[in-house]
Structure 1
Amino acid sequence: MTSNDLVVVLPGITGSTLGVRGADGSPASANLIWAPSAGAVWRLLTGGNSILKKALPAGIGDAAPDDGVEPVALMPDVHVLPGIWTPIRGYDVLIDALEALGYKRDNGAKPPNLIAFPYDWRLSNRYNGERLKTVVEPALERLRAQGGASADARIVFVVHSMGGLVARWYIEKCGGAEVTRKLITLGTPWRGATGALEQLVNGVKKGIGPLSIDLTAFSRSMPSLYQLLPEFACISTAGGYAKTTEVSVPNLDTAMVADAMAFQMDLQSAESARAASRDMTHMIVGIRQPTATTVELSGGKATAYQNFGSDNDYGDSTVPLTGAVGLGEALDTNIVVRVPEQHTNLQCNQFVLDQVQEILTAKPVRRRELKSVSVRASVPDLVTQGSGLKVAFDLEADDPDADPPKVPVTVTVRSAKGKVLATAQPTLRGGHGVTTFDDLPPGTHTVTVDGSTPSSLVRPVTSTAVVWPKPVT
């Protein structure tokens, strides 16, 4: 059963395909420069149509360059820019789940009540928030023009990761509050992500690790990536923790750092001034995964740590819990739904999809039985073929005073098409397990840590890893 509202889905950073208008007048969809299949990420980065050739000019601010690049569609497949953001699974599962509820992008003669909004994720979230207005408000007017139950339709946003920043800017700064009913955020960095700071400072340069390309200039040209910088104090200093605007951050454009902080503070001020912001928001966050939370700056480099002093709040492996909880709420706020899952898979997690269904329909859905053992998994984003993919994990009972669970666990590696490539059942010692897969083919694979039997009560966690081809000698 659907509501009568317009549902709008926004992906995260790198989650929209990009194309270039052809000199022959062909549309951007016919000239894709960012649409990597799970098995060919490296070809999109190193080929003739590499997205890396579209670094933004200095001082771009909130404008768009005249480089012909246009957003085309939501990514259906696993996508990653190594060293810029974590691998993320595509959005087909989420879109399919919404269409199963009765929301339609193609509604025949009737206006659609589901929109998938791709955007140029290189650009400022302010720019994309303004562009969002030009798409969703005409669509809402067409829906309302049907009359009847649709006459008072409003917008419901279902957003993943950075897509939440775009939607929030539209709602609070572009007049969207007047037509928005609900904002459902999945892993959105409401206060930023420490990993973005580490990646921007350190860069990704030729000859480091498995990469034979240089992503540094491209990543540092993106206002959107700067706007993912943590607003909270996360830089370790002799006097405690400092914000990015309170210390000198090496290798970064000082003006872009200051502008990113202003972006965060403008949003927070607008939300604080509008009480309805809290009432309309549903935050769904990933928890219990090893996550960069603080950094130490030394010698022009950033070293990330998972803790604030002796405290480790974890997160979803990409966004720390401190960055994931917004609206000035405490980490134990009652308006957040917490799911033991990684950032890469939140929009595909079945419990998350159940939550979205309930929020949209306001109808109770039968919950799958909640299992009682959580997994905290560490899986590298990127390894070279032949070097081995090491998967480490810890089991944690819901009762913090209980002994580490003694349940059988299976680690499964699947290809992008779902084919099982390898499995292992590591021996557990004190709830900790480690296994290494040595002979994986190149490609983008999913790694799932789950119970070996349905009765083992382990909540599965899914990660994504790119196996980079061995260099040809």
Structure 2
Amino acid sequence: MGFPHVVVFVPGIAGSRLVTPAGPIWTGSPATLARSAAGARRLALSGDGRAAEPGVTADGVLLGAGVLPGLAGVDFYGRCLRELTSSLGLEPGRNLITFPYDWRLDNRVNAGLLARQAPGWLADWRATGGPDHARLVFVAHSMGGLVARHAIEVQGLRDLTAGVVTIGTPHRGAPKALRALTGGLPVLRLFPGLLEQLRRMPSVHQLLPVFPFLTRPDRYARLTDPEVVHGLDAGLVRDGAAFLREIETAARANAGEAGPLAHAIVGVDQDTARLLHLPDGGGPASLAVTAAGVRDPRGDGTVPEGSAYPIEWDGARSATWVAGRHLSLPGMRVVLDQLTGWLSAIAEPRRLAAFRDVHRAGFPLSLDAPEAVPAGAPVEFAVTAPRAGLWSIEVLVEAVDGPVEVRVVDPPGGLVILPDGLPEGLHRIRVRTAHAPEQELSDLLPAVPAET
């Protein structure tokens, strides 16, 4: 017998292609944004993001390598979907459903659409050969986990759901979202006009942290504290926090009912911004200097480890720690092994006990690279492994779908320097050790035209 349930895959922000009758407005291509301000204007919302935009269709989940708008390169979802299909015997369009959505909008809009469509997918599966006991199982990356959980806990899908696994989801928000919205990410200088568009998107505000993360002389503050002047749209900031709290409140209220087992795949070992400094009156948010430095290795480079657990959890419960970068997590071999194992346990519940704790999978490595660089400019990034000097580190830099451009073995001090930079395009950095070559760490680095 094949996999009994319907698996619904929900991508993260910018992971869906957006089209209009006049043509695509988002394909994930670096050229969409890097050439001129007109690229950013194509992403502009015509309304306030509280309802679907007439004429805009999300017509597919992105599969190959691409970029997030103004943030970083990303390995999209082709490898993950292929693995789910082959390892579990899923049938695309029948019991493997992808849910593309307009990721610029309020996540409630997309959660509502998911809540309306998913029962029909389940009914179709049961009516065409699936078992009567079949239910929904959600697999979601990054912001997609917030869409899925709002649909499950708030908008009525809980009774039809057997489980949900989130991969690098910022359940409590991510400080990097504030850096993006305040212009604090240096990479935004390479994308003219994009900051204005990001500030109009409700979804980006729903990624802002709800935990204390702003440094003050005597404490840490939340963005919504009355004395914090952030310079952003106050209504969007408050509503972003309210959205996350809606999931928390509903999930706690539902906890006594028979419901889905949540499992979190959490990226760790990467330097991740946990605390930020925000100038009085607003302005670009920057990394805060503390006694431990400016970053925290407990995270995936974007989402701090503590934020990657469902918001109603009091701590880590059912989670897998993986040394991985946020935007590459869904395609990592070790993540795919954990994901297919968890889904198999959902189909055979007696195996679920193995996933009801916290464990580490894979070998710890870290990579700290810029989100994007100007083409031809010098590039530096750092790689580390535990017990340095014992296991050899190999670093490969290659054009996406192209040959290896640079190979470095055991870089001194873990620092890789490319004095001649990289040609324009999308490049993949791969890090592995002789101890565990199959468990490589990777990230994508866009090199964009220097004149932008």
TM-score by length of 2: 0.88
Q: Write the letter of the residue equivalent to 2:265.
A: I
Label 1:128 to 1:212 Cα distance change in 2 as closer, same or farther (>3 A): closer
Structure 2 match to 1:34: 26
The within-5 A match list for 1:23-422 is 31-37=23-29, 41-46=30-35, 50=39, 52-57=41-46, 60=48, 62-66=50-54, 68-83=55-70, 85-100=71-86, 101-106=88-93, 112-146=94-128, 150-202=131-183, 211=190, 213-246=192-225, 247-275=227-255, 280-298=261-279, 300-305=283-288, 312=296, 314-331=298-315, 333-362=316-345, 374-397=364-387, 404-422=388-406
Label 1:456 to 1:135 Cα distance change in 2 as closer, same or farther (>3 A): closer
Answer whether contact 1:406 1:428 (CA < 8 A) is retained: no
Shift of 1:459: 4.5
Structure 1 match to 2:12: 12
Label 1:468 to 1:267 Cα distance change in 2 as closer, same or farther (>3 A): same
Label 1:63 to 1:373 Cα distance change in 2 as closer, same or farther (>3 A): closer
Answer whether contact 1:2 1:361 (CA < 8 A) is retained: no
Shift of 1:86: 3.2
Label 1:146 to 1:406 Cα distance change in 2 as closer, same or farther (>3 A): same
Q: Write the letter of the residue equivalent to 1:10.
A: V
Structure 2 match to 1:461: 441
Shift of 1:3: 2.1
- For 1:384 and 1:277, locate their aligned partners in 2 and report how far apart those are by CA, in whole Å: 52
- For 2:188 and 2:43, locate their aligned partners in 1 and report how far apart those are by CA, in whole Å: 24
Label 1:461 to 1:183 Cα distance change in 2 as closer, same or farther (>3 A): same
- Deviation track 1:339-371 (CA, whole Å, cap 9, x = no partner) reads 00111111001111111111112278xxxxx99
Answer whether contact 2:49 2:201 (CA < 8 A) is retained: no
Structure 2 match to 1:400: none
- For 1:355 and 1:121, locate their aligned partners in 2 and report how far apart those are by CA, in whole Å: 27
- Deviation track 1:70-118 (CA, whole Å, cap 9, x = no partner) reads 10111112222453x3322111001101110211124xxxxx1111110
Q: Which runs of 4+ in 1 moved over 4 A?
A: 276-279, 306-311, 370-373, 456-459
**Unaligned residue ranges in structure 2 (runs of 5+):** 352-359
Q: Secondary structure at the match of 1:347?
A: helix
Q: Secondary structure at the match of 2:121?
A: helix
- For 2:33 and 2:72, locate their aligned partners in 1 and report how far apart those are by CA, in whole Å: 16
Answer whether contact 1:88 1:464 (CA < 8 A) is retained: yes
- For 2:271 and 2:126, locate their aligned partners in 1 and report how far apart those are by CA, in whole Å: 45
Moved more, 242-251 or 275-284: 275-284
Shift of 1:330: 4.8
Label 1:259 to 1:327 Cα distance change in 2 as closer, same or farther (>3 A): closer
Higher relative contact order (CA 8 A, sep 6+): 2
Answer whether contact 2:322 2:362 (CA < 8 A) is retained: no
Answer whether contact 2:36 2:191 (CA < 8 A) is retained: no
Answer whether contact 1:194 1:293 (CA < 8 A) is retained: yes
Q: Write the letter of the residue equivalent to 1:199.
A: A
Q: Write the letter of the residue equivalent to 1:356.
A: L
Label 1:2 to 1:194 Cα distance change in 2 as closer, same or farther (>3 A): farther
Q: Write the letter of the residue equivalent to 2:181.
A: L
Identical counterparts, % of pairs: 32
Shift of 1:223: 0.2
Label 1:47 to 1:238 Cα distance change in 2 as closer, same or farther (>3 A): closer
- For 2:101 and 2:362, locate their aligned partners in 1 and report how far apart those are by CA, in whole Å: 39
Answer whether contact 1:103 1:113 (CA < 8 A) is retained: yes
- For 1:307 and 1:314, locate their aligned partners in 2 and report how far apart those are by CA, in whole Å: 15
- For 2:239 and 2:291, locate their aligned partners in 1 and report how far apart those are by CA, in whole Å: 26
Q: Write the letter of the residue equivalent to 1:94.
A: C
Label 1:409 to 1:131 Cα distance change in 2 as closer, same or farther (>3 A): same
Answer whether contact 2:141 2:168 (CA < 8 A) is retained: yes
**Unaligned residue ranges in structure 1 (runs of 5+):** 23-30, 107-111, 365-369, 398-403
Answer whether contact 1:286 1:341 (CA < 8 A) is retained: yes
Label 1:204 to 1:376 Cα distance change in 2 as closer, same or farther (>3 A): closer
Structure 1 match to 2:357: none
What is the total number of aligned residue pairs between the two structures? 435
Q: Secondary structure at the match of 1:153?
A: coil
Q: Secondary structure at the match of 2:173?
A: coil
- For 1:406 and 1:78, locate their aligned partners in 2 and report how far apart those are by CA, in whole Å: 33
- For 2:271 and 2:419, locate their aligned partners in 1 and report how far apart those are by CA, in whole Å: 20
- For 1:258 and 1:166, locate their aligned partners in 2 and report how far apart those are by CA, in whole Å: 18
Label 1:277 to 1:209 Cα distance change in 2 as closer, same or farther (>3 A): same
- For 1:465 and 1:421, locate their aligned partners in 2 and report how far apart those are by CA, in whole Å: 13
